Structure 1
Amino acid sequence: MELPHRLHRLIGPDATWSADHEGASGTALRVRSGAEVFYVKYGPLARAEHLRLCWLRGRVPVPVVVAFDDPVLVLADVGAPSLEAAAPADIGTVLGRSLRTLHELPVTECPFDGRLPAVLERAAANVRNGLVDSEDFDADHLGLTPEAIHDRLLAAYPPVEDLVVAHGDYTPSNVLLPSSGEPVVIDVPALGVADRYRDLAIAHRDLSEDHGPAAWEAFLSAYGLVDDIDEERLYFYRLLDELL
C-alpha cells in the first residue's frame, strides 16, 4: 500500500505492518508506530466506511477516524477484543443489544441506501463479472454456482422490507467489547437503510453455527424479537450475502 504523503508522516517510516490480527480478512492492516496502534484500510470500501463512520459518530460507538486521505482510511485501535472471545450467552446478549441500538436510529436521517433494488443490482453485477467466490459459500450452498444462488435469490424475493439502519455484515467479529463502556461496532462499509432481516440473517447464521442455539436465543431476547421469526426472510438474506 502506497500511503499519501501526509499519512506517511503520521504513521512514520519505521512502523510495523501486519495482516495477522484478530478478525483479519484482508481488508485492514494493523500498524504499530511507536506506542500507537492504527488500522489502515484502502480502496472503495475504505471510502464507503469513512462516510458511514462520520455519520455514525455520536449515534453509536464506532472507531475513531484518525485520518482519511482518499482512498486510505486510518482508524484508532479500540483496544478491545471482539465478541468472538466471549461466552456464548454473553455473545448473544451483547450482539442483540448492540444491534437493537443501531436499528433504533431514525431511518429518515440515514443517507445510505441498502434497500433491495440497489443491493440486488450489485449482487447481479458481482455474478456477471465473476466476483463471487463460490468456495466461500455456506455449507448448504457448496457446489452451487453463483448463477444458481442468484436464481434462488430472485425466487425468494420477500414481499415487504421492514426498514432500519442496518449494518450489512453483522457478525460477532464486527462488534468489539471494551472492559468498560458500550460495545463498539466496526467494519461498516455496507451500512445503510435496509430490511432488519439483512442483519438478523447473518447474526442467526454465525451464532447458530459457531456458538449454538443458546447464543441465538439470548440474542433474540436482548434484541426484543422472541416470536414470529420469518424463516423465509432469514434464508433470503443469507442467499443475498453469498453474492456480496
Structure 2
Amino acid sequence: MTSSKTLPAGPFGARLSGYRMERDALGRSAASVFRLEGEGLPALYLKVEAAGPFGELADEAARLSWLKASGLPCPEVIGRENDGERNWLLISALPGTDLASASVLTPLARVELLAEALLALHRLPITSCPFDHRLAGRVPLARARMQAGIVDETDFDETRLGKSPEALFAELENRRPGSEDIVVTHGDACLPNFVASDGQFSGYIDCSRLGVADRYQDIALACRSITYNFGEALVQPFLDRYGLPAPDPARLDYYQLLDEFF
C-alpha cells in the first residue's frame, strides 16, 4: 500500500485520515480506483475521473442509491464531489472477492452465482427503475462517443480488431433488433463486477450503466466474460442456471458489438 499523501484524496482528505491507499487496476473503467484500508477502519473505495460529458461517477452514485433502496446488495455511497476538473466518488467496500478473482470457489460455482445475481436484478419491476438504457438512447450515445474519439479500437473483441469504429457503428445501425425484452440490467455484467463472500453472492459493483434494457445486454457480456475467464465450456451451465438454455446468437453478438463503444 502507498501513503495517502501521495494519492488524490482530494475533497475527502480529512475524511480519509488514517487510511492507506492502493490503486485497483482490475477492470476497464476510465476512472482511477483506489482501495482504502486503515487499522480499525472500514474498507472504502475512492473513484476519481476527469469531469466532462462522458463521466460516469454521478451515474454510478445515483444507481447505487437506487439499487440499495430496492433491497439488493451494493456499496453505500458515502460522498460525491466535483472540483471543476475532476469528479470524486467515495463508497463502501463489499465483503468478499469479485467473481473473476474468487479462486476459493470453483469456476462453475462462480458462473452459477453470476446467473443468480442477474436473475435477482432482472426480476426487479422495470416501472420502478428511472434509468433508461434502451437502444433508442444507447445507440446515439455510442455515436457520440465515437465522434468524440473515446472509443478504444485496441480493446475491440478479437473478431473485430482492425475494424474502424465507423464500420462497427454502421453494423450497429444495420443489425439493430426490432424488439427488446426489457428488464433492469446491470449494463456491464462481467465477472469482476459481481462479488461473493463465504460462497454467497454479496453484491453488485461498478453500476454506472445500470438501467432498463434488453436482458441480452447482460447475458451477452456475461457469456463473453465467462469465455474469457474460464473458457467456453462454462457458458452453457451459466445459461442453464439463468433459464435461457438456447439464446439467440444474433442478439448475443449485437450486444457485444454495442459494448465496443463503451
2:66 paired residue number: 55
Cα distance in structure 1, aligned partners of 2:184 and 2:24? 31
Superposition pairs of residues 188-199 of structure 1, within 5 angstroms: 188-199=207-218
Cα distance in structure 2, aligned partners of 1:103 and 1:92? 16
Cα distance in structure 1, aligned partners of 2:35 and 2:136? 35
Q: Which residue of the other structure, out of 83, 92, 107, is the alignment partner of 1:76?
A: 92
1:65 paired residue number: 77
User: Cα deviation per residue 1:128-173 (whole Å; 9 max; x = unaligned)?
Assistant: 1111110011111111111111111111100110000011100111
Contact kept? 2:194, 2:201, Cα under 8 Å: no
Moved over 6 A (4+): none
User: Cα deviation per residue 1:174-213 (whole Å; 9 max; x = unaligned)?
Assistant: 0000116533110000000101001111011111232123
User: Cα deviation per residue 1:186-242 (whole Å; 9 max; x = unaligned)?
Assistant: 000000010100111101111123212332122112211113x11111111111000
Q: Which residue of the other structure, out of 25, 41, 44, is the alignment partner of 2:47?
A: 41
Could you tell me which amino acid in structure 2 is paired with residue 18 of structure 1? E
Q: How far is 1:108 from its partner?
A: 0.4
- 1:110 and 1:54, CA in 2 relative to 1: closer, same or farther beyond 3 A? same
Cα distance in structure 1, aligned partners of 2:62 and 2:159? 35
Q: How far is 1:67 from its partner?
A: 2.6
Contact kept? 1:89, 1:214, Cα under 8 Å: no
Query: In the alignment, is residue 10 of structure 1 matched against residue 29 of structure 2?
Result: no
Q: Which residue of the other structure, out of 235, 238, 241, is the alignment partner of 2:256?
A: 238
2:138 paired residue number: 119
Contact kept? 1:165, 1:192, Cα under 8 Å: yes
Cα distance in structure 1, aligned partners of 2:192 and 2:159? 22
Could you tell me which amino acid in structure 2 is paired with residue 77 of structure 1? A
Of 32-41 and 20-29, the range deviating more from structure 2: 20-29
Greater relative contact order structure (CA < 8 Å, 6+ sep)? 1
Contact kept? 1:88, 1:214, Cα under 8 Å: no
Cα distance in structure 2, aligned partners of 1:163 and 1:64? 26
Of 103-112 and 182-191, the range deviating more from structure 2: 182-191
Cα distance in structure 1, aligned partners of 2:188 and 2:175? 20
Q: How far is 1:48 from its partner?
A: 0.7
Contact kept? 2:9, 2:16, Cα under 8 Å: no
Q: Which residue of the other structure, out of 120, 143, 159, is the alignment partner of 2:178?
A: 159
TM-score scaled to structure 1, two decimals?
0.91
Cα distance in structure 2, aligned partners of 1:143 and 1:209? 20
Could you tell me which amino acid in structure 1 is paired with residue 159 of structure 2? D
Superposition pairs of residues 96-115 of structure 1, within 5 angstroms: 96-115=115-134
Cα distance in structure 1, aligned partners of 2:166 and 2:30? 25
Structure with the higher helix share, 1 or 2: 1
Q: In the comparison of the two structures, how many residue pairs are matched?
A: 240
TM-score scaled to structure 2, two decimals?
0.85
Of 82-91 and 184-193, the range deviating more from structure 2: 82-91
Q: Which residue of the other structure, out of 21, 31, 35, is the alignment partner of 2:36?
A: 31
Cα distance in structure 1, aligned partners of 2:243 and 2:81? 40
Structure with the higher strand share, 1 or 2: 2
Q: Structure 2: which 5+ runs fail to align?
A: 1-7, 50-54
